[in-house]
Structure 1
Amino acid sequence: MANFSPSFLDEVLSRTDIVEIIARHVELKKSGSNMMGLCPFHHEKSPSFSVSADKQLYYCFGCGKGGGAFQFLMEHDGYPFPEAVEYLAEKAGMEVPKETQRQPGDEERQKKAYDMLTRVSDVFASALYGPSGGKALEYIKQRGMPEAIVRSYGLGYAPAGYGFIQQAIGNDNRTNAQLEAIGLLFKGDHGYGDRFRDRLMFTIRDRRGRVVGFGGRVLGEGEPKYLNSPETNWFHKSDLLYGFSEHRDTIRKEKQLLIVEGYMDVLALAAYGLKIGLAPLGTAIGERQIREIFRLCDSPIYSFDGDRAGRQAAWRALERMMPLLKAELSPKFLYLPDGEDPDSLLAKEGAEAFRKRMQEEAKPVLETWLMGLKLLAGQGAEGRARMAKKADSMLATMTDSYLAQAWRQEIEQTTGISLQQQRRHVSSTPSAQADNDTVKLNEIEDRFLAGLIQKPERFRDLPDIANDFFLDKGRVKSLYMRAFSIIAGAEDNNTDIARQLAQESPEDQTLISRWVNQATVQDIEYESLLLDMESNDIRWRLKRGPDLNESVLLQKRLRELQSQQRKLSELLNETGA
């Protein structure tokens, strides 16, 4: 990984406008000193996503995500940290220092690979409209695909026989090796051969919109019906969803997401103006793909055929989903009529009727679970016992204890059997550890810190007792004391404490972003908060059992603070602040 110097990172950020970066995906509107919009990380109806143009930090008061420009590119667009830095540096017209490159020649190899994949996509697209592409083009027309969809999604054709890719790209040793590395050629006993032959080709892109691989549908006889690129350094099937980069912004804007089974279903939806479809790459949907889906939309609809195979596929998806379910998520399952898929239904019904079907016929995940258990368990007392036993084992995988309790009550009511309430034994994971490490602040503490970070000169006027605030809040105490030292060493009050703290403690950027993006703490509110902080500190000291003299002094000071607080409250009421 690149080892960028702090001064270089600081320069990149100083030349970056985070509002411009975020505004590509979020409609931001002025709200006080910040910009507000709908959070791109979770579904919400009222804006809780705040961006501070002054401090160059964002924070969502709904889901708690926050940080700076690097974090946004990493969280939202899927950039690894080095590539996020390099992207912003290039955008700012800066040259990345050579000594910080990841490995000698590594960046150039990556670029050549992506360029080659894009070039191959263009070659397949040209072949579709060439002399040998008639069969594939006719198939596309029969499926009702408009030319605009064909071109914008990168559909193409790989001709039958061997040697097409080498003839189009090159046949020297270096080119062959590169084509093999990106999954277009395989090496056999008689040299290199084309992996894709006589297939309609679908270009597959990653989260950033880069071509990373291909899917090919056989035309005529042959197996497998669909063939994907092999696993490479660029193509990881279990991480990808077809249509993701093309549909991400529409899904977030419309707050609708339909998971379908195949590439053509995604394209058919898009052809009818429903750019809300995503599909796994020909295999059962996996946990990492489900996580990505929930990041995009908290109420996705999973579409399956209504036959036995479709219901089995839905059950597998539900089982993989169980550990990831939260009370805030509301996925649904839509079973289509036998023999129909989104493509055929759209052709018969049109877009509006299909939207209506999604709204009226999609079943909540709990209802789908109960129905699936009944089908698995069978009839009679034995069936109810099997149903309860299976439900108990599945509930044990859930991580949201409140949701698991609600589902347990539903299945107990359905079966008439009290479950054994198995507990899920989970080893410490990074996410669980992060939750344990989260510092809990009450509202007064949180607003007080926001008031200080928003207006750093307030640090200079804090009473001596303020040095003892947050003694039991490890990470917050460190940030608080570091801010003291920054402002003490500054020549004036213009030092950007928030940015400096965020650079020095990247693991605390979310906290810092939260304080920066809160509603402005006006002076009169800040005075009240300071009184509350000192009062709470005194109460904490009194609980520790000080000697009599100290106790008398502390109680006297507490009465003084309470008197000041009453006067301040009267003033607040008079001013309406």
Structure 2
Amino acid sequence: MAVPPEFIEDLRQRVPLSDIIGKRVKLVRKGRRFSGLCPFHSEKTPSFSVVDDDGFYHCFGCGVHGDAISFLREIDGLEFMEAVERLADMAGMAMPIGAPQDPKVTQQRKAALDILETTATFFRAALDREDGKDAARYLLNRNLDAHIIQTYRLGYAPRGGLRAALSAKGFSDADMLAAGVLRKSDRDGSLYDYFRDRVMFPIENRQGKVIAFGARALGDAQPKYLNSGEGPTFSKKAVLYGWVQAREGLRRQLPLVIAEGYMDVIAIHKSGVAAAVAPLGTALTPEQIVLVWKLHNEPVLCFDGDAAGQKAQMRALERFLPLLEPGKTARFATLPAGKDPDDVLREAGYEGFKNIIATARSLVDTMWDGIMADHDVRQPEQRAQFWQAIRSQIRNIGNNQVRSAFSDEIENRIAAMRTQMRGGTMPMAARTARRPSTGMINRHKALLALLLAHPALISGAFETLSMIDSGDERLEMIKKAAIDALISDPDLDAAALNYHLQGLNFTDELADLTGADMKARLPFDPATMNSDTAEAHLGELVALINGKSGVFSKASQQRN
């Protein structure tokens, strides 16, 4: 319903802004203004200013500013009308009368919220009981401590007892059915607890109220994961798991990751590397994409590195295109095949996952390479089909300005491809591999092995490395991927670079470059030499590849 402007202005005058913000931030009066630590970003020196007379706040650190309504919207994730209602309640003012609401629907929703909150408390308590020990052991084995369990309000649904506990608090069976915690048997009409013997993940709305549950089976029960059904409080297409916790992480300037499941979200949050949310067992919906952008303008989507994961990546990209706006986009990260974020964090540590996020690719790069992968652009008809396909995708962008900017970028890339073709060269992914001599290819492999063991050498040799072509498509691809990774993150060490390249499906090549057979052919061990020696060997290898002799070349030739 529409709210008269004069009512909004009256609200702002009735409740001092410092009273509203002071409930969340410790404010110190300094003349006519108040000062404190900004609640929207991490800082040690106060730069957040509140002026009651003018009714606004401003942070001189991160630039955020606004009034009472915008503060409530940002800090609690409220919609405009929800913030107005909250402010009216503080001021003791009645909301203007708008369209009549069905009292029965309002009462049912309130009862459902009360039941779900009580149920979450019941499940949390059950986790500490004897019958919850298997669920507690599962969480312990996933390295979740008491703080994380409390933060996400994790619990255990016992095999029975919830209906009786809710009845004792005065809730009716009809309200329990509407809230989705009780079900009626199709066989005999009897009532039973919907969630039984499962680890429970409360799903909260943006105000932190429990609106549904996700549940993971213990043992072999099917389905493995079970969600609450649609109801008066819950529409899964419009909710993201972990939204409240992610909002807190983003105030510390963390990147935002869109993960696949509950445990991935929790593991990422626990790492402190990023904030995370997840859709509820389905592909991202337009409503969820808009929700994500309320948190972060450029979220990172993580996908498995296998073929299925890459197809899912392209489907997700296609869902973003119609909704793109100036400044609103997404990046795409590729995980090692068969691994989810929780796996990566356990196996590669926080730095390994952090590097994957840092090197996530832009939407336009992901789209270009993803569509090109389905076409052999060496063939003119395939090339034309590729151009047609990518132009077709651009037409799906709804915003005129964004569509025009993407179109310009794609046409520039197509023009560059035409120039390459006229010059007799092929795009990297489409080159025809030559058959280099065994000795020469081993020199190129030695060069790559050295760079993989000492990534710091790459930064000082971009131009030289780009001018060397082994003629082997896969070797050139891994070299380019390593260079791109070091451009994005110059501090990558050998382990992090190796893990990043594994995520790009170079596992076999890495094994060849670092395995025993390769070491037997090399006159040195890249992993054991110091940086100065490595730099000297790099110069010798480059000279040898370019047809010049050197101290190293004789030893290399003996090995070959």
In the alignment, the residues of structure 2 paired with residue 222 and residue 159 of structure 1 have an alpha-carbon distance, to the nearest angstrom, of 14
Give matches, 1:14-413, under 5 Å. Answer: 14-19=13-18, 21=20, 53-57=52-56, 68-70=67-69, 72-74=71-73, 77-80=76-79, 83-92=82-91, 94=92, 96=94, 104=103, 109-160=108-159, 163-170=160-167, 175-189=172-186, 190-274=189-273, 276-329=275-328, 331-359=330-358, 361-378=359-376, 380-398=379-397, 399=399, 400-413=402-415
Question: C-alpha displacement at 1:313, in angstroms?
Answer: 1.7
Decide whether aligned partners of structure 1 residues 246 and 172 sit closer, same or farther in structure 2, where only a CA change above 3 A counts: closer
CA contact (8 A) 1:25 1:249 kept: no
Give matches, 1:535-574, under 5 Å. Answer: none
In the alignment, the residues of structure 2 paired with residue 111 and residue 260 of structure 1 have an alpha-carbon distance, to the nearest angstrom, of 31
Decide whether aligned partners of structure 1 residues 197 and 415 sit closer, same or farther in structure 2, where only a CA change above 3 A counts: farther
Which residue in the other structure is 1:550 paired with? none
CA contact (8 A) 2:36 2:48 kept: yes
Q: Which has the higher contact order (CA 8 A, sep 6+)?
A: 1
Question: C-alpha displacement at 1:251, in angstroms?
Answer: 1.1
Decide whether aligned partners of structure 1 residues 216 and 16 sit closer, same or farther in structure 2, where only a CA change above 3 A counts: same
Residues 55-106 of structure 1 show CA distances to partners (whole Å, capped at 9, x for unaligned) of 3257999x999874335535764435554344224334x2648978955476
In the alignment, the residues of structure 2 paired with residue 323 and residue 35 of structure 1 have an alpha-carbon distance, to the nearest angstrom, of 43
What amino acid sits opposite 1:168 in the alignment?
Answer: A
What amino acid sits opposite 2:179 in the alignment?
Answer: I
Which residue in the other structure is 2:459 paired with? none
What amino acid sits opposite 2:305 in the alignment?
Answer: G
Q: Please give the TM-score of this superposition, normalised by the length of structure 2.
A: 0.63
Residues 113-159 of structure 1 show CA distances to partners (whole Å, capped at 9, x for unaligned) of 22211111111112222222222222212211112111221111223
What amino acid sits opposite 2:130 in the alignment?
Answer: P
In the alignment, the residues of structure 2 paired with residue 37 and residue 393 of structure 1 have an alpha-carbon distance, to the nearest angstrom, of 51
> Which blocks of at least 5 consecutive residues in structure 2 are unaligned?
420-560
Decide whether aligned partners of structure 1 residues 397 and 19 sit closer, same or farther in structure 2, where only a CA change above 3 A counts: farther
More off after superposition, 192-201 vs 16-25: 16-25
Give the count of matched residue pairs. 409
Question: C-alpha displacement at 1:194, in angstroms?
Answer: 2.6
CA contact (8 A) 2:48 2:57 kept: yes
What amino acid sits opposite 1:187 in the alignment?
Answer: K
In the alignment, the residues of structure 1 paired with residue 264 and residue 366 of structure 2 have an alpha-carbon distance, to the nearest angstrom, of 22
In the alignment, the residues of structure 1 paired with residue 24 and residue 369 of structure 2 have an alpha-carbon distance, to the nearest angstrom, of 39
Residues 496-528 of structure 1 show CA distances to partners (whole Å, capped at 9, x for unaligned) of xxxxxxxxxxxxxxxxxxxxxxxxxxxxxxxxx
In the alignment, the residues of structure 2 paired with residue 98 and residue 31 of structure 1 have an alpha-carbon distance, to the nearest angstrom, of 37
Which residue in the other structure is 1:571 paired with? none
CA contact (8 A) 1:286 1:317 kept: no
More off after superposition, 334-343 vs 4-13: 4-13
Question: C-alpha displacement at 1:241, in angstroms?
Answer: 1.2
Question: C-alpha displacement at 1:13, in angstroms?
Answer: 2.8
In the alignment, the residues of structure 2 paired with residue 23 and residue 305 of structure 1 have an alpha-carbon distance, to the nearest angstrom, of 45
Which residue in the other structure is 1:505 paired with? none
Which residue in the other structure is 1:524 paired with? none
CA contact (8 A) 2:108 2:175 kept: no
What amino acid sits opposite 1:237 in the alignment?
Answer: K
Question: C-alpha displacement at 1:362, in angstroms?
Answer: 1.3
Decide whether aligned partners of structure 1 residues 257 and 103 sit closer, same or farther in structure 2, where only a CA change above 3 A counts: same
Question: C-alpha displacement at 1:226, in angstroms?
Answer: 1.6
Decide whether aligned partners of structure 1 residues 138 and 381 sit closer, same or farther in structure 2, where only a CA change above 3 A counts: farther
Query: 1:202 aligns to what SS in structure 2?
Result: strand
In the alignment, the residues of structure 2 paired with residue 30 and residue 384 of structure 1 have an alpha-carbon distance, to the nearest angstrom, of 67
Query: 2:240 aligns to what SS in structure 1?
Result: coil
In the alignment, the residues of structure 1 paired with residue 325 and residue 80 of structure 2 have an alpha-carbon distance, to the nearest angstrom, of 29
What amino acid sits opposite 1:150 in the alignment?
Answer: I
In the alignment, the residues of structure 2 paired with residue 364 and residue 39 of structure 1 have an alpha-carbon distance, to the nearest angstrom, of 30
What is the root-mean-square deviation in Å for CA atoms of aligned residues? 4.1
Residues 208-254 of structure 1 show CA distances to partners (whole Å, capped at 9, x for unaligned) of 11111111112222333221111112111111111111120321431
Residues 166-209 of structure 1 show CA distances to partners (whole Å, capped at 9, x for unaligned) of 13322899621111112212223322233222221101111111
Which residue in the other structure is 2:461 paired with? none
Q: Please give the TM-score of this superposition, normalised by the length of structure 1.
A: 0.61
CA contact (8 A) 1:57 1:69 kept: yes
> Which blocks of at least 5 consecutive residues in structure 1 are unaligned?
418-577
In the alignment, the residues of structure 1 paired with residue 326 and residue 196 of structure 2 have an alpha-carbon distance, to the nearest angstrom, of 47
In the alignment, the residues of structure 2 paired with residue 251 and residue 381 of structure 1 have an alpha-carbon distance, to the nearest angstrom, of 47
CA contact (8 A) 1:74 1:80 kept: yes
What amino acid sits opposite 1:242 in the alignment?
Answer: Y
CA contact (8 A) 1:251 1:296 kept: yes
Decide whether aligned partners of structure 1 residues 106 and 325 sit closer, same or farther in structure 2, where only a CA change above 3 A counts: closer
What amino acid sits opposite 1:154 in the alignment?
Answer: R
What amino acid sits opposite 1:91 in the alignment?
Answer: M
Question: C-alpha displacement at 1:357, in angstroms?
Answer: 3.0
